[in-house]
Amino acid sequence: MSTEFYRTGAPIEDGKAPDGVIAERWDNRRFAAKLVNPANKRKLTVIVVGTGLAGGSAAATLAELGYDVKSFCYQDSPRRAHSIAAQGGINAAKNYRGDGDSVHRLFYDTVKGGDFRSRESNVYRLAQVSVEIIDQCVAQGVPFAREYGGLLDTRSFGGAQVSRTFYARGQTGQQLLLGAYQAMARQIQAGKIEMHPRTEMLDLILVDGRARGVVTRDLVTGEVRNHFADAVVLASGGYGNVFFLSTNAKGCNVTAIWRAHRKGALFANPCYTQIHPTCIPVSGDHQSKLTLMSESLRNDGRVWVPLTGGDTRAPADIPEAERDYYLERIYPSFGNLVPRDIASRAAKNVCDEGRGVGPGGLGVYLDFADAIARLGRDAVAAKYGNLFEMYERITGEDPFETPMRIYPAVHYTMGGLWVDYDLQATIPGLFVIGEANFSDHGANRLGASALMQGLADGYFVLPNTIGDYLAAGPFEPLDDAHPEVADAAEAVRTRVAKLLAVNGSRTPDSFHRELGRIMWDYCGMERTDAGLRKAVGLIQALREEFWRDVLVSGESEELNQQLEKAGRIADFFELAELMCIDALHRTESCGGHFRGESQTPDGEALRDDETFSYVAAWEYTGDRPVLHREHLTFEYVKPSQRSYK
């Protein structure tokens, strides 16, 4: 099949997928994988791009195993990667509570939560290694919350019916990341990791079809340089910043994985975007990013809007009878605790009806008055004090006195580079871990599962599977003069020079804002055929204008933050178009991907398993992308319509 937007190619299969009983697959794969002799490991070099939970844990573990590691991050220190901002917690099937949790239940919840668009084998392995992650982090000194008896505390999170989320107040990501960073620091000191902070990967080096290195730009001196290795691991995070406004850090970008995609790595499910329901609303045109308020707030806060549109009274002046607690009304059994995708869309719907609150009518109330009356102010402060403070810093309003205003914001991208069970992309020697790959969350990620996946990939999965590939190494030594290396470096220099040479009249940020607006309007919480077609046209026109009229100040041989931005935005343009095409071709609704044309009579997402039970893996061609389907089969969890009513 082919359309004006894409062509269809041969289906693909996960060539490393083990079969047999699901609980034994990971053991079987580890046993079947080739090992690298300890004496040979030190002759092998691995590049790891990104130092978040996935990249940091992978770099440390690979170095501990004896490989020589080169690690890269754009921040000034590996400790600052955006995993640090994760608040809520990390899931693990420890069943310390004896409340009926098990590896199988975590597996089941994750497959269902992903709306049956992930691989059973991968998710099962994730649930299995979740247990080891907690052990490892505790041994590193991660200060998880504890009970008075000295044992670890857990909480239920994101609508799970068991208490399996381990946490460190509202800073779980920070503490886990510092654990991985410290493990890296030990290996840097030992000389096993060569650390390159303030360095950005701008291209992948392929030699004889294998990933053999990266071309980087030193963000301080502007030096463009080649780095060689026997394998390359991309752990560069998600691409939510294509929307300009998101909960991602300002520097988060798609460049590393997009450059690899352009070199042949398939990009899977790019349209699967998670929009988080509880973020602080936009306050004006100056807004540079959005801040998440932990989902845990929905345990005690009640979500509402005025019953009728255009009600501009202060919230305290609106009597109970004139409020609509819409989540409790529509979803009586889950109420305010419905999953993220459902809560987000419900908020959008009431705002579309003109009942939103705050500037521009893009907000709903999250009200703690009942919780304060029921539990007392002190108890509420003990649970949520730091979040209330953060909210007050940003908005100037005190949630003890007046309801919070919240609105959905882009938070996480489930899509990413396609990888097999070994986490290897379609380019031999290229591995992709953490948010940068597509592997475990299907069409929607559950709360407290991102940290789990990042650390599972980095500490426990990749270090086992990469050996199977590296056993064939070391590969031929390379230098800058090798033709394929020289070409890659030259392409990077040309592109940098081209961005500076345009010398137009619009700033990089102005283009990024406009692109983000297109994506939010047409490829955000609700997508339609007409909207997506329109978006593709708008993106193409804006991209053409970008390359004709962008104004990048300064030079290449210096610290130049505008140049960094412009390069990333250029890649976001290409990604944005692919996201829209992916969203356009998937005419069903599933998880975070809601197509207006595909809903149940009462407005819920309607999947089409007959047609769309596959991973959409896209090949870059420079023209229309080519769709390769990986069919998904479900042996252990029967696909069903999710219901939270």
Partner 1 sequence: MNLTLKVWRQKNATSRGHLTTYRVKEISPDMSFLEMLDVLNERLILDGDDPIAFDHDCREGICGMCGLVINGVPHGEQRATTTCQLHMRHFKDGDTIVIEPWRAAPFPVVKDLVVDRSAFDRIIEAGGYVSVPTGSAPDAHAVPVPKASADTAFDAATCIGCGACVAACPNGSASLFTAAKITHLGLLPQGQPERARRARAMVETADELGFGGCTNIGECTAVCPKGIPLATIARMNADYLGLAATGD
Catalytic residue positions, numbered: 340
Quick check: 23 binds partner 1 (CB under 8 A)?
no
Quick check: 512 binds partner 1 (CB under 8 A)?
no
Question: For residue 96, how far is the Cα from the chain centroid?
Answer: 28
87 vs 135, 154, 543, CA distance in Å?
A: 20, 14, 35
Quick check: 291 binds partner 1 (CB under 8 A)?
yes
Q: Reduce the DSSP state of residue 276 to 3 states and report it.
A: strand
Quick check: 296 binds partner 1 (CB under 8 A)?
no
Contacting residue, 23, 33, 145, 486, with partner 1 by CB under 8 A: 145
Closer to partner 1 at the Cβ: 263 or 289? 289
Question: For residue 122, how far is the Cα from the chain centroid?
Answer: 17
Scanning 70-78, 113-121, 475-483, 541-549 for contacts with partner 1 by CB under 8 A, the matching segment is 70-78
Quick check: 294 binds partner 1 (CB under 8 A)?
no
Scanning residues 416 to 455, which ones bind partner 1 (CB under 8 A)? none
Q: Which helix (H) or strand (E) holds 529?
A: helix 529-549
295 vs 87, 292, 324, 606, CA distance in Å?
A: 9, 8, 21, 25
| Minimal distance, residue 359 CB to partner 1, in Å | 9
| Minimal distance, residue 327 CB to partner 1, in Å | 25
d(CA 299, CA 278): 12
Contacting residue, 47, 69, 127, 168, with partner 1 by CB under 8 A: 168
d(CA 511, CA 548): 12
Omega before 143 within 30 of 0, i.e. cis: no
Sign of CA dihedral 26, 31, 33, 35: positive
Residues contacting partner 1: total by CB under 8 A:
81
Q: Which helix (H) or strand (E) holds 207?
A: strand 199-207
Scanning 39-47, 174-182, 436-444, 615-623 for contacts with partner 1 by CB under 8 A, the matching segment is 174-182
Scanning residues 79 to 108, which ones bind partner 1 (CB under 8 A)? 79-80, 82, 84-85, 94, 96
Contacting residue, 7, 186, 495, 533, with partner 1 by CB under 8 A: 186
Contacting residue, 136, 199, 236, 413, with partner 1 by CB under 8 A: 136
Scanning residues 380 to 399, which ones bind partner 1 (CB under 8 A)? 390, 393-396
Scanning residues 260 to 289, which ones bind partner 1 (CB under 8 A)? 283-284, 286-289
Scanning 249-257, 377-385, 482-490, 519-527 for contacts with partner 1 by CB under 8 A, the matching segment is 249-257
| Minimal distance, residue 76 CB to partner 1, in Å | 6
Tokens 């608040």 found at: 87
Scanning 136-144, 260-268, 436-444, 603-611 for contacts with partner 1 by CB under 8 A, the matching segment is 136-144
| Minimal distance, residue 64 CB to partner 1, in Å | 4
Quick check: 144 binds partner 1 (CB under 8 A)?
yes
Closer to partner 1 at the Cβ: 195 or 615? 195
On whether the CB atoms of residues 259 and 269 are closer than 8 A, the answer is no
| Minimal distance, residue 396 CB to partner 1, in Å | 5
DSSP 351-374: HHTT---SGGG--EEEE-HHHHHH
On whether the CB atoms of residues 74 and 479 are closer than 8 A, the answer is no
| Minimal distance, residue 88 CB to partner 1, in Å | 13
Strand order, beta sheet including 154-155? 90-91, 165-166, 154-155
Scanning residues 477 to 506, which ones bind partner 1 (CB under 8 A)? 505
Q: Are strands 231-234 and 45-49 parallel, antiparallel or unpaired?
A: parallel
Contacting residue, 15, 38, 98, 149, with partner 1 by CB under 8 A: 149
Quick check: 151 binds partner 1 (CB under 8 A)?
yes
The 10 Å CB-count burial string (b at 16+, else e) for 2-39 is eeebbeebeebebebbbeeebeebbeebeeebeebeee
| Minimal distance, residue 375 CB to partner 1, in Å | 21
Quick check: 130 binds partner 1 (CB under 8 A)?
no
Q: Which helix (H) or strand (E) holds 536?
A: helix 529-549
Quick check: 78 binds partner 1 (CB under 8 A)?
yes
Scanning residues 547 to 576, which ones bind partner 1 (CB under 8 A)? 551, 553-554, 558-559, 561-562
Closer to partner 1 at the Cβ: 83 or 589? 83
Quick check: 75 binds partner 1 (CB under 8 A)?
yes
Scanning residues 24 to 53, which ones bind partner 1 (CB under 8 A)? none
| Minimal distance, residue 319 CB to partner 1, in Å | 29
Partnered with residue 619 across adjacent β-strands are 626
**Alpha helix segments (H runs only) across 325-446:** 326-330, 340-352, 369-375, 377-395
Scanning 1-9, 184-192, 209-217, 480-488 for contacts with partner 1 by CB under 8 A, the matching segment is 184-192
On whether the CB atoms of residues 322 and 308 are closer than 8 A, the answer is yes
| Minimal distance, residue 237 CB to partner 1, in Å | 12
Closest alpha carbon to 614 in 181, 108, 8? 8
Q: Reduce the DSSP state of residue 188 to 3 states and report it.
A: helix
Quick check: 597 binds partner 1 (CB under 8 A)?
no
Phi first, then psi, for residue 240 (nearest 5°) are -60, -20
Closer to partner 1 at the Cβ: 189 or 633? 189
